[in-house]
């Protein structure tokens, strides 16, 4: 759903020129004429903004400027930033940037940083009016207010089949010393600890040095505070503070040095030196290695330690880091970072351009699992990585005083007990502090209640290892860390002997403690071999809301629980640590992708992802379904399955896609649901074309809105050196029939073939996901498997209904996916209630997160009114229209630069001032839909600025539409039939009619489809009489 800052971060339309060559972004409002009067420099408070300009960056420029040829690299080649064309185009971009800044009167010193490689734009300190003017300036694509982001292996090389005589390193590269040669991995994170043994120099001379020298254009910026050093392992390092966020975290270093540890961990997992002995305190953690031990590393520090165990950054610094990484010549980027939203923004656009320039990006899926619809980093040019487990587990046993034994996990050679067993929540120093004590937060436990006891601490909110420190401080001798809901079990190095138990066993322990005089014993840790993989319960799950369940995300899983890797000793003093998260899973994929690119340097990012996905495994090492906790996992949790590197080097076939495919995908998203995700109002799609999300040529098939029958087409390319004949085999999802046409494909090396998959609902459970697979096999034992997931959504019907005239009708078709009744209910029609307000002058800068921050007295540029929504109202809507056109939707190429225009915004708050929703002015004004149900709201209309209006005054009509509210309906509004019997795959033809409307008005109504058990879909109805 749209975020509160929708109208501040560049909701508007896209230009055709951008569509034709580069990423579509959450674009800014388009142009004012170049001859328009420049705005004054402005006064008042400023904020940091990221401004994206309209023209293509170097990485994706395909020509068009007279005298300057394309700079986009050819397929399989690297960007050449020093060519004559690149230098000329860079000068051109600088001239365009200066023109934009001059036009809005922004002083040069307000510009913090400029970018030209994967992102064409700059970061600047701007007032609110300046930001608004930039959005509406010719040559500006988007203006984003700075947003925060956050940081989302001793055994894994063995477990994944990289080591040993028959392992990937030996088979493909002749040993670990050559695994990943010629490849550079960029890590955008919290920096690195340069003294770590995992980043020691590689033996010299390097056999791949000429290859590296030809592509590497970066630098080693050692920094100001605690400077770093680079070598032939870490060949480059940069650090960023364009956003100014570092000032909020003064304990971190003004250099690429890592205080937090997250970046050191991810970088060493991807490409740390082979054979490093890892220890934490007195605990021996074994020998560790990165996935691509001979690859080079480039470090881009864009996150800072936040003092609470996490690392925080901003999109401004992330975009700059991506831009530099592409310019520097990296082949792979690891992005173990998230923002907890699928709304399309500057980071997504910049990664689009990086991937279009041939850079593979591994991105963490997020740590908000196991809940559905939580997956992050879900665009199709990223490889989205879930977290799974390995077949080694450090186990401990908790033995209760009654003899009951519970299996858990934990690290440490020492046990403890028998000893008293107490709940931390019952052991608070402060009687009102039970909540914090239950979490074993700092200084919350009473030593008089805890001394000598084993303490039960609830997982969550603070780092797990901090909990045992608090137990030790209060005199406790052991800790039982417990989950109260489905989550992972983690074997951490703790301050006291600790066992971690799940939510099921918690009930047993709770019942025992309630009897009184409870005691327990914690056993020493034992390293055991267990069935694997399982999905880590914290790993974010699909379906992706951005993709409406029509593109399977995450793509793949990799080990991400209890991963041993290098760490920063800055805070805890340990050079190595066990860490868990999709942040730990992503660098496994980044490192393995580097191995594939070392072997196949001409493969595209999509081909690399395809090879990884189609060779992944979706069963455990014992042939059983993969689990998440005690439940069966699905591809919505693990994508295609857990990575199996050995099979990816010769996948047989790949599902490739490129920049043009991704643009058509974005056009499809825009037409279907783009307004909710920053992709509304895309211009140019009629020329370029659009595809449904499910039709993107992807190594998985996901049909999230299946009803009766649906077909998708895919293209596969033979990347082997043999002509092969492939035969298809299908494991159909339960309740569905799957037909593949043709069933056989004969494909020569380097050639492609197309096929169609038709899925028919034969009784699939309503509103339930079902999964299966499609596999192509040839005579050379290639097995190219794609997951196939289907959801019977129950109903496919129009997203909106429109009509004209004082009377009339519209015929609609609704396709259903269940057997039963289809019930149609109408509300409205209503012409709404309107009032006109006149606003004058430019809007001030103010904190619009609550209406309680409105300036006092209220300036003439802002209107504040109240709105009561009665019970019975359906889909209440507020619309604001302007007397004059919006500046952003004038075609200034056809104007003289003197047309009067305005830009405005609409904010809605509840009666207490809490933000509800907002939007910016568009072609047809501004409108927002309010929550269902009765309520009282504050409606704020703000005139951001005007152009060419002498007194700066403009009239606005504010209309509230309350369909179904008592006394608001006009005329007659009917549907036929109101109810009918349906069966799966059937189409119900319905007719909506209206009579007796007054001429020249706009009426709104609502059509709700129900199935007898609840609502299926709500469809807005608009009639222009």
Q: Is 305 found in the same domain as 229? A: yes
**999-1007: average pLDDT:** 95
**927-947: average pLDDT:** 94
Q: Is 1006 found in the same domain as 945? A: no
Q: pLDDT digit string (tens) for 627-652?
A: 998 899 999 999 999 999 999 999 99
Q: Is 522 found in the same domain as 575? A: no
- pLDDT at residue 751 is higher than 80: yes
User: Using alpha carbons only, how large is the chain's radius of gyration in Å?
Assistant: 30
pLDDT band at 74 (very low <50, low <70, confident <90, very high): confident
- pLDDT at residue 66 is higher than 80: yes
Residue 678 lies in a domain: no
Residue 691 lies in a domain: no
Alpha carbons 616 and 620: distance in angstroms, whole number: 11
Which pLDDT score is estimated for 390?
Answer: 92
Which pLDDT score is estimated for 13?
Answer: 25
- pLDDT at residue 188 is higher than 80: yes
Residue 364 lies in a domain: yes
pLDDT band at 8 (very low <50, low <70, confident <90, very high): very low
Q: Is 868 found in the same domain as 840? A: yes
E-strand ranges in 13-156 read 47-53, 111-115, 121-126, 140-145, 148-151
Residue where a domain terminates, one of 935, 961, 987 = 961
Among 665-679, 776-790, 961-975, the minimum mean pLDDT is found in 665-679
Q: Which of 317, 326, 198, 214 is nearest to 587 (CA)?
A: 198
- pLDDT at residue 36 is higher than 50: no
Element (H, E) at 582: helix 582-599
Q: Is 630 found in the same domain as 552? A: yes
Tell which wins on pLDDT, 999 or 670.
999
Phi, psi dihedral angles at 238 (to 5 degrees): -140, 160
Other residues' Cβ atoms within 10 Å of the Cβ of residue 435:
13
- C-beta separation of 959 from 785 below 8 A: no
Which pLDDT score is estimated for 927?
Answer: 92
Residue 352 CB burial class (10 angstroms; 0-12, 13-18, ≥19): buried
Examine the residue annotation and report whether 661 is marked as an active-site residue of this protein: no
Q: pLDDT digit string (tens) for 100-146?
A: 888 778 877 778 889 999 999 999 888 777 887 788 788 888 888 88
pLDDT band at 330 (very low <50, low <70, confident <90, very high): very high
Alpha carbons 642 and 615: distance in angstroms, whole number: 9
Q: pLDDT digit string (tens) for 338-371?
A: 988 888 989 999 999 999 999 999 999 999 989 9
Element (H, E) at 592: helix 582-599
Which pLDDT score is estimated for 281?
Answer: 77
The CA–CA distances, whole Å, from 10 to 2, 52, 132, 762, 940 equal: 12, 10, 9, 45, 19
Q: pLDDT digit string (tens) for 377-431?
A: 999 999 999 999 999 889 999 999 999 999 999 989 899 999 999 999 999 999 8
Q: Is 800 found in the same domain as 789? A: no
**Mean pLDDT highest for which of 37-41, 344-348, 721-725?**
721-725
Residue where a domain terminates, one of 793, 818, 848 = 793
Among 183-192, 551-560, 609-618, 977-986, the minimum mean pLDDT is found in 977-986
Q: Active site residue: 189, 317, 324, 842, which one? A: 189
Residue 683 lies in a domain: no
CATH code of 705's domain: 2.60.40.2310
The number of distinct structural domains making up the chain is 6
**431-449: average pLDDT:** 94
Q: Is 216 found in the same domain as 337? A: yes
Residue 685 lies in a domain: no
Q: Is 342 found in the same domain as 326? A: yes
**How much of the chain exceeds pLDDT 70, in percent?**
94
- pLDDT at residue 29 is higher than 50: no
pLDDT band at 593 (very low <50, low <70, confident <90, very high): very high
Q: Is 716 found in the same domain as 806? A: no
Q: Is 647 found in the same domain as 521? A: no
CATH code of 378's domain: 3.40.50.200
- pLDDT at residue 7 is higher than 50: no
**206-235: average pLDDT:** 97
In this structure, are strands 332-335 and 360-364 parallel, antiparallel, or unpaired? parallel
- pLDDT at residue 311 is higher than 60: yes
Q: Active site residue: 103, 262, 588, 889, which one? A: 262
Q: Active site residue: 583, 670, 724, 882, which one? A: 583
pLDDT band at 152 (very low <50, low <70, confident <90, very high): low
Residue 277 lies in a domain: yes
- Domain, as residue range, for 786: 700-793
pLDDT band at 43 (very low <50, low <70, confident <90, very high): very low
Quote the DSSP letter at residue 534. Answer: B
**64-79: average pLDDT:** 90
Q: Residue 946: which residues within 8 A CB-CB, separation 6 or more?
A: 842, 884, 900, 901, 902, 903, 952, 954
Tell which wins on pLDDT, 529 or 715.
715
Residue 977 lies in a domain: yes
Residue where a domain terminates, one of 145, 165, 187 = 145
Q: Is 709 found in the same domain as 648? A: no
- C-beta separation of 797 from 1006 below 8 A: no
- pLDDT at residue 922 is higher than 80: yes
Q: Is 738 found in the same domain as 874? A: no
Assign 3-class secondary structure to 829-877: EECCEEEEEEEECCCCCCCCCEHHHCCCCCCCCEEEEEEEECCCCCCCE
**810-839: average pLDDT:** 94
What string of DSSP letters covers 907-931? Answer: EEEETTSBEEEEEE-BTTBEEEEPP
Contacts from 473-476 at CB under 8 Å and sequence distance 24+?
A: 473/443, 473/445, 474/427, 474/445, 474/446, 474/447, 474/450, 475/447, 475/450, 475/451, 476/445, 476/450, 476/451, 476/452
Examine the residue annotation and report whether 981 is marked as an active-site residue of this protein: no
- pLDDT at residue 601 is higher than 90: yes
pLDDT band at 35 (very low <50, low <70, confident <90, very high): very low
Tell which wins on pLDDT, 674 or 827.
827
Which pLDDT score is estimated for 31?
Answer: 22
Helix or strand or coil: residue 747?
Answer: strand
Tell which wins on pLDDT, 890 or 811.
811
Residue 485 lies in a domain: yes
Which pLDDT score is estimated for 223?
Answer: 96
**Peptide bond between residue 418 and the one before it cis (omega within 30 degrees of 0):** yes
CATH code of 496's domain: 3.50.30.30
Q: pLDDT digit string (tens) for 856-874?
A: 999 999 999 999 999 999 9
pLDDT band at 897 (very low <50, low <70, confident <90, very high): low
Q: What is the mean pLDDT of the chain?
A: 90
**How much of the chain exceeds pLDDT 90, in percent?**
73
Other residues' Cβ atoms within 10 Å of the Cβ of residue 663:
26
Other residues' Cβ atoms within 10 Å of the Cβ of residue 680:
22
**439-447: average pLDDT:** 95
Examine the residue annotation and report whether 842 is marked as an active-site residue of this protein: no
Tell which wins on pLDDT, 280 or 395.
395
């Amino acid at each position: 759903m749209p975020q509160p800052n929708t109208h501040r971060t560049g909701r508007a339309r896209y230009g055709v020129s951008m569509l034709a060559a580069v990423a579509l972004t959450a674009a800014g409002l388009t142009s004012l004429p170049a001859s328009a009067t420049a705005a004054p420099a402005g006064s008042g408070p400023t904020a940091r903004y990221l401004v994206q300009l309209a023209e293509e960056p170097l990485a994706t420029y395909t020509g068009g400027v007279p005298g300057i040829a394309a700079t986009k690299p050819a397929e399989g080649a690297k960007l050449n930033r020093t060519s004559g064309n690149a230098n000329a185009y860079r000068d051109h971009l600088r001239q365009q940037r200066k023109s934009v800044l001059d036009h809005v009167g922004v002083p040069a010193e307000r510009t913090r940083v400029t970018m030209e490689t994967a992102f064409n734009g700059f970061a600047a300190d701007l007032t609110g009016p300046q930001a608004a003017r930039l959005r509406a300036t010719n040559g500006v694509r988007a203006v984003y207010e700075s947003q925060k982001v956050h940081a989302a292996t001793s055994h894994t090389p063995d477990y994944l089949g990289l080591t040993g005589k028959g392992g990937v390193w030996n088979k493909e590269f002749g040993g670990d010393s050559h695994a990943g040669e010629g490849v550079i991995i960029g890590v955008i994170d919290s920096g690195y600890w340069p003294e770590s043994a995992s980043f020691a120099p590689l033996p010299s001379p390097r056999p791949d040095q000429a290859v590296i020298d030809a592509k590497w254009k970066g630098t080693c910026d050692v920094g100001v505070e605690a400077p770093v050093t680079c070598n032939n392992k870490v060949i480059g390092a940069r650090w960023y503070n364009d956003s100014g966020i570092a000032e909020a975290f003064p304990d971190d270093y003004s250099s690429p040095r890592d205080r937090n540890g997250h970046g050191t961990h991810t970088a060493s997992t991807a490409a740390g030196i082979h054979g490093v002995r890892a220890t934490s305190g007195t605990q021996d953690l074994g020998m560790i290695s990165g996935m691509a031990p001979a690859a080079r590393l480039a470090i881009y520090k864009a996150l800072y330690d936040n003092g609470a165990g996490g690392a925080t950054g901003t999109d401004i610094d992330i975009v700059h880091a991506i831009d530099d990484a592409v310019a520097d010549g990296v082949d792979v980027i690891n992005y173990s970072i998230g923002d907890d939203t699928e709304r399309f923004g500057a980071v997504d656009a910049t990664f689009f351009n990086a991937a279009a320039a041939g850079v593979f990006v591994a991105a963490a899926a997020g740590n908000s699992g196991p809940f559905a619809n939580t997956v992050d980093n879900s665009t199709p040019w990223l490889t989205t990585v879930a977290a799974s487990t390995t077949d080694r587990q450090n186990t401990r046993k908790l033995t209760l005083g009654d003899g009951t034994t519970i299996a858990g996990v934990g690290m440490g050679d020492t046990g403890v007990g028998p000893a008293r067993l107490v709940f931390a929540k019952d052991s608070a120093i402060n009687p009102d502090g039970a909540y914090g004590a239950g979490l074993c937060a700092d200084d919350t436990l009473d030593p008089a209640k805890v001394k000598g006891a084993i303490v039960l601490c609830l997982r969550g909110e603070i780092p797990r290892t901090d909990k045992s420190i608090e137990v030790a401080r209060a005199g406790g001798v052991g800790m039982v860390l417990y989950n109260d809901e489905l989550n992972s079990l983690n074997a951490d190095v703790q301050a006291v002997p600790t066992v971690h138990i799940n939510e099921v066993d918690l009930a047993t322990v709770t019942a025992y403690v309630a009897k009184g005089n409870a005691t327990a014993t914690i056993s020493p840790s034992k390293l055991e071999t267990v069935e694997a993989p399982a999905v880590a319960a914290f790993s974010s799950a699909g379906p992706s809301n951005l993709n409406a369940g029509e593109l399977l995300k995450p793509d793949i899983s990799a080990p991400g629980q209890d991963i041993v890797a290098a760490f920063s000793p800055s805070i805890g003093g340990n050079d190595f640590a066990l860490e868990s998260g999709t942040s730990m899973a992503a660098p496994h994929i980044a490192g393995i992708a580097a191995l594939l690119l070392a072997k196949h340097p001409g493969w595209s990012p999509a081909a690399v992802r395809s090879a990884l996905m189609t060779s992944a495994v979706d069963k455990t090492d014992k042939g059983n379904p993969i689990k998440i906790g005690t439940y069966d996992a699905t591809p919505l949790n693990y994508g295609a399955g857990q990575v199996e590197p050995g099979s990816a080097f010769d996948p047989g076939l790949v599902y490739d896609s490129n920049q043009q495919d991704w643009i058509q995908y974005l056009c499809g998203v825009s037409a279907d649901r783009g307004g909710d995700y920053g992709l509304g109002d895309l211009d140019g799609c009629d020329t370029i074309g659009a595809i449904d999300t499910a039709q993107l040529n992807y190594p998985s098939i996901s049909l999230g809105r299946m009803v009766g029958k649906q077909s998708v087409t895919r293209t596969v390319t033979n990347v082997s050196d043999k002509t092969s004949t492939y035969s298809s085999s299908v494991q159909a999802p339960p309740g569905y029939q799957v037909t593949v046409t043709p069933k056989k494909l004969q494909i020569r090396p380097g050639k492609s073939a197309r096929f169609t998959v038709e899925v028919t609902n034969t009784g699939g459970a309503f509103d339930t996901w079902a999964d299966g697979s499609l596999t192509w096999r040839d005579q050379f034992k290639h097995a190219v498997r794609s997951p196939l997931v289907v959801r019977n959504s129950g109903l496919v019907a129009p997203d909106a209904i429109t009509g004209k005239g004082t009377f009339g009708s519209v015929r609609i078709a609704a396709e259903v996916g269940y057997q039963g009744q289809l019930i149609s209910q109408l509300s409205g029609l209503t012409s709404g209630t309107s009032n006109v307000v006149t606003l004058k002058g430019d809007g001030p800068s103010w904190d619009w997160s609550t209406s309680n921050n409105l300036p006092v007295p209220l300036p003439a540029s802002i209107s504040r009114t109240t709105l009561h929504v009665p019970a019975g109202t359906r889909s209440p809507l507020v619309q604001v229209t302007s007397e004059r056109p919006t500046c952003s939707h004038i075609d200034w190429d056809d104007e003289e630069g003197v047309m009067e225009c305005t830009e405005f915004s609409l904010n809605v708050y509840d009666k207490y001032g809490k933000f509800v929703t907002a939007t910016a002015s568009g072609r047809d004004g501004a409108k927002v839909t309010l929550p269902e149900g009765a309520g009282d709201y504050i409606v704020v209309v703000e005139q951001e600025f005007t152009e060419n209006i002498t007194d700066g005054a403009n009239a606005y009509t504010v209309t509230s539409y309350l369909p179904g509210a008592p006394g608001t309906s006009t005329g007659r509004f009917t549907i036929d039939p109101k109810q009918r019997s349906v069966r799966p795959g059937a189409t119900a033809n319905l007719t909506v009619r209206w009579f007796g409307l007054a001429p020249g008005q706009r009426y709104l109504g609502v059509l709700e489809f129900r199935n007898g058990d609840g609502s299926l879909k709500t469809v807005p109805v608009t009639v222009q009489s």
